């Protein structure tokens, strides 16, 4: 069985992200003096967990400039991209690094996307694993199955690097979080 990992919003080479703040005024990505230091930490933590044959789904916003896509030559795994709002370059540039490119992906009855999906789109799924929101979480939604009238709470799982301490997250950990209804990955 192939190991599946998930990560989002690396923003490789994005100098301004080091200036972004949270709602409380603190830095979104504190502790980095340079963008190279941030990129190096993400690559280091990625490679601590991922092995060469593992599959890694990047849930969007890989790099802000096309040349920074080359940072991906430093990471382990067979890469798949779920495009984000900043993944705006021609597909051929991403295909140098990614084996597959998707808009969304469904795995283990969970939908994986860049943006948190609208609640009306989540009815048949156990969870929405997403990026885009950086350090912000999204409240779970309650949906009713029209056929069975069963009410289900569907969680949103944020795998942005700010929510995962810059590590990719294994599918087994996501499944555990969904089954125990833990809100955020966090704690790494």
In this predicted structure, what is the pLDDT of residue 187? 41
Q: Over the range 37-51, which residues count as b (16 or more CB within 10 Å of their CB) and which as e? A: ebbebbbebbeebbe
pLDDT for res 81:
98
- Predicted pLDDT at 23: 87
Q: CA 31, 163, 169, 36 torsion: positive or negative?
A: negative
In this predicted model, what pLDDT tens digit does every residue of 4-58 receive, in sequence order? 999 999 999 999 999 999 989 999 999 999 999 999 999 999 999 999 999 999 9
| Predicted pLDDT of residue 152 | 81
- Predicted local confidence at residue 182, as pLDDT: 57
Domain boundaries, the chain: 4-180
**How far is 143 from 12, CA to CA, in rounded Å?**
36
Give the CATH architecture of domain 4-180: 4-Layer Sandwich (3.60)
In this prediction, residue 27 carries a pLDDT of: 96
Residue ranges of the chain with pLDDT lower than 70? 181-188
């Amino acid at each position: 069985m192939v190991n599946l990992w998930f990560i989002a919003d690396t923003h490789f080479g994005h100098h301004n992200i080091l200036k972004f703040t949270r709602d409380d005024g603190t830095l979104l990505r504190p502790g980095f003096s340079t963008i190279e230091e941030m990129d190096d930490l993400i690559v280091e933590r990625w490679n601590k967990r991922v092995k060469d044959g593992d599959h890694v789904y990047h849930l969007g916003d890989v790099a802000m400039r096309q040349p920074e896509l080359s940072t991906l030559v430093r990471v382990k795994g067979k890469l798949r991209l779920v495009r984000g709002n900043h993944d705006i370059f021609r597909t051929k540039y991403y295909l140098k690094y990614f084996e597959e490119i998707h808009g969304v992906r469904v795995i283990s009855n969970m939908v994986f996307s860049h943006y948190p999906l609208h609640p009306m789109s989540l009815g048949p799924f156990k969870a929405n694993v997403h990026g885009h929101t950086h350090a912000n979480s999204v409240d779970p939604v309650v949906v009713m199955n029209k056929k069975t009238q069963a009410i289900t709470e569907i969680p949103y799982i944020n795998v942005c690097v700010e929510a995962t301490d810059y590590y990719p997250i294994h599918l087994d950990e996501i499944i555990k979080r969904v089954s125990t209804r833990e809100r955020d990955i966090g704690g790494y």
